[in-house]
Structure 1
Amino acid sequence: MADNRPPRILLSNDDSIHANGFAVLEKIAAQISDDVWVCAPETEQSAASHSLTIHRPLRLRKLGEKRFAVDGTPTDCVLLAVNHIMKDCKPDLVLSGVNHGRNIAEDVTYSGTIAAAMEATLLGIRAIALSQELPYDKAPDWSAAEKWGPEVVRRAMAVDWPPQVLVNANFPARSGDQVAGIKVVAHGNRKIGDELVERKDPRGRSYFWIGTSRNDDLIPDNTDSHAISEGHVSVTPLYLDLTHYDTIGRLKKAFS
């Protein structure tokens, strides 16, 4: 920091304040600063995306010094923390995660973990989202995030990045000692949701589960998907300006 004080850090997530990955995030933050605040959902909000609660009141519970829980979405949590809890001492950095599962490629459009970082970015605060790839058939191993998370945060903080940009970091499903290193890569393309499982309820009516399978046949090099598959930590800057500028000119001509 410019005044040599440690950064004031706000922590949030989408898996809830009680999640194992959130405890990992607290360990990571403790290695960066002793000025750490918490405002996270009371219950799991996975795939909540950038949703905001506007049709019911929100409840804010104080669980301890600098520690709060909200009965809402990750976006609600960051909004309440920055504009209410910390309005007189706003954070320098928001860390979101560590998510139970990777947030790469098209995952970022669904992810509540990314959404918390997005909200911070929109509020003018630098933010880093952290996610840990975990296999479904084994006990969770968070050691990659625990070992490499502090380094990712420190290196990212040392870089100036422009407004409307957040950093998305993903840790591979390997132990910390087996991680191949860190790669700064582009946002990939792997769509979830093509697997739909149809079943019948006791009354014979259909219901569906949206599966997690993706097409892994073609994973472009130099993307988050490829980096994770090769055992690297992926670091990707995400830009919130969704305008496709190359198309503006063609549309202007079409509508002129």
Structure 2
Amino acid sequence: MRILITNDDGMDAEGLHLLEDLALQFTDEVCVVAPLANQSGVGRAISLHKDIEFVRRDDRHYGVSGTPADCVMMALNLLYADNPPDLVLSGINHGMNVADDVGYSGTVGAAMEAAIVGIPAVALSQRFYQRQMDFTPVKSCGHDVLAAALETKLPERTVLNINFPEAHLGPVKGIRQAILDEHKFSDEILPGDTPNSYRIGPLVMRQQVNEGSDRWWLNEGYVTFTPLHMNATHMGLLSSLPEADF
């Protein structure tokens, strides 16, 4: 099995190194192509109308001066042009990617870029408690979680989104299927450091958590598995939309 790994936190992120170590427990054919700088929150953005650096560190590690989606595109065209990888793993993100956040996530965006071209893809994220980086859940059960993911047959154009619960909740209880929650309430816009500038502040989240959702099961101490489909068409509404000839 040939695995391509990327992330959005950058080449030197702890989560990326942990994911590489996990992948190497299943195959020796692992290649890492990741952003040279942190690219959190860029979603599936690509770098248009500018040059992108592709920097070789060694035979298995490459850095890209672009987005996570750029990393996947560059890897597939420059390293895997004649023989695509069997799987793309993205992560392990420093912080959860759940609910409405998945659209912002560079981690999920990279996995989506792979899924679009027919390559099975998994996005993995570790939830932190009060911004304290602690990958204990990944270290304790990451092998079993990745093994379960590898046994999952993903339909075309589908990403498996995996989140690990906070370490302070104690030992991980298991894995649960989960729907995406709806947790965004509003945004906080803060004054910037210079005149006429602003910053996007912390997300203001809904207090209500939908039962059976990714946030619900994370709060209970479980790893969550959520399938994300690239076809965002609202099929239930489609047939009720008007049609006309002109």
Cα distance in 2 between the residues matched to 1:83 and 1:176:
42
CA shift, 1:192, in A, is 6.4
2:69 counterpart of 1:79: no
Aligned-partner residue type, residue 82 of structure 1: L
- Indicate how the Cα distance of structure 1 residues 57 and 163 shifts in structure 2: closer, same or farther if over 3 A, else same: same
Which position in structure 2 is the counterpart of 1:246? 236
Q: Which residue does the alignment assign to 2:204?
A: 214
The answer to whether structure 1 residue 101 and structure 2 residue 91 are counterparts is no
Counterpart of 1:111? 105
Say whether residues 1:141 and 2:141 are aligned partners. Answer: no
- Stretch of structure 1 that moved more, 211-220 or 172-181: 172-181
Q: What is the one-letter code of the residue matched to 1:222?
A: G
SS in 2 for 1:88: coil
Distance (whole Å) between structure 2 residues aligned to residue 76 and residue 198 of structure 1: 31
Match of 2:156 in 1: 163
CA distance in structure 2 between the partners assigned to 1:68 and 1:111 by the alignment: 21
C-alpha spacing 1:116/1:177, structure 2 compared with 1 (3 Å): same
Structure 1: unaligned runs, 5 residues or longer: 1-6
Please give the per-residue CA displacement for 1:11-61, whole angstroms capped at 9, x wherever unaligned. 000000111111111111111211101111000100011111111011111
Q: CA deviation at 1:137?
A: 5.0
Aligned to 2:62: 68
What residue in structure 1 maps to residue 190 of structure 2? 197
Question: What SS does structure 1 have at the residue aligned with 2:184?
Answer: coil
Are 1:18 and 2:12 an aligned pair?
yes
Q: Is the 8 A contact 2:184 2:206 kept in 1?
A: no
Amino acid at match of 1:231: G
Task: Please give the alpha-carbon distance, in whole angstroms, between the structure 2 residues aligned to 1:227 and 1:31.
Answer: 27
Cα distance in structure 1, aligned partners of 2:58 and 2:193: 45
Alignment-mate amino acid for residue 216 of structure 2: H
Aligned match for 2:34, one of 40, 44, 47: 40
Q: CA separation in 1, counterparts of 2:23 and 2:49?
A: 33
Aligned length: 245
* Per-residue deviation, 1:195: 2.3
What letter matches 2:68 in structure 1? P
State the 1:222 CA deviation.
0.6
Q: Which runs of 5+ in 2 are unaligned?
A: none
Structure 1-normalised TM-score? 0.90
Distance of 2:130 and 2:86 partners within structure 1: 35
Q: Hey, what does 2:123 align to over in structure 1?
A: 129
Q: Which residue of 2 aligns with 1:4?
A: none
Distance, in Å, in 1 between the alignment partners of 2:215 and 2:38 is: 25
Contact between 1:145 and 1:176, CA under 8 Å: does it hold in 2? no
1:233 to 196, 199, 223: 223
SS at match of 1:227: helix
In 2, are the aligned partners of 1:144 and 1:175 still within 8 Å (CA)?
no
**Which 4+ stretches in 1 moved above 6 angstroms?**
none
Amino acid in the other structure paired with 1:131? S
> Which amino acid in structure 1 is aligned with residue 111 of structure 2?
A
- Given that residues 146 and 176 in structure 1 are in contact (C-alpha distance below 8 angstroms), is that contact kept between their aligned partners in structure 2? no
* Aligned Cα root-mean-square deviation (Å): 1.8
Distance 1:208 1:126 in 2: 39
> Helix, strand or coil: the match of 1:155?
helix
Report what 2:172 is aligned to.
Answer: 179
